Homo-oligomer: A and B are copies of this chain.
Amino acid sequence: MATTTAQDEELASALVQTMHRLQDLHAESSRPLGLTPQQAHLLCVLLGGPLGMTELSRVLSIERSSLTSMVDRLERRDLVARTANPTDRRACHIELTTDGKSLAHDVHNAVVARIETLTADLSASTRKTLMTALQSILAQA
């Protein structure tokens, strides 16, 4: 059985605080570009290539029905497009338009730039250990 120490809880709390701080920063970077944080996330995910609705909803951790309206709004702004899936007539691919790709790059760069200022003070070795730790955490998912 797991014994939870005060240090464990402090670390977990620090991770939660950092999450909230990064969320704020993400929102602050998205807004000037005319995007909600959720829209920014969606566009950045699509930088990796087109995805179907079911797959995209899984990546974003939202219901497909919620995604439908999000995609509707972005499609109206010509930031994404629904394209037919040749091998399955029920399905579609969601892909970035030229404008969408450009905006996705902009928001990604803005977020990364903001975060880099937060990590600028860290030593090279701390940075390396941090990277390893984050990869370990992400691997649990």
> When each residue 108-141 of chain A gets 1 if its CB lies under 8 Å from chain B and 0 otherwise, what string results?
0001110111111110001101111111111011
Contacts of A14 in B (CB 8 A): 131, 134-135, 138
Across the interface, name the chain B residue whose C-beta is closest to A133: B130
Also in contact, A127 and B20, with CB within 8 A (given A27-B61, A121-B136, A122-B133): no
Copies in the complex: 2
Considering residues A19, A26, A136, which has the most beta carbons from chain B within 10 angstroms of its beta carbon?
A19
Max chain B C-beta neighbours (<10 A), residue from A22, A24, A121, A138: A22
Across the interface, which residues of B come within 8 angstroms of A4, CB to CB?
Answer: 113, 116
Residues of chain B lying within 8 A (CB to CB) of residue A2: 116, 120
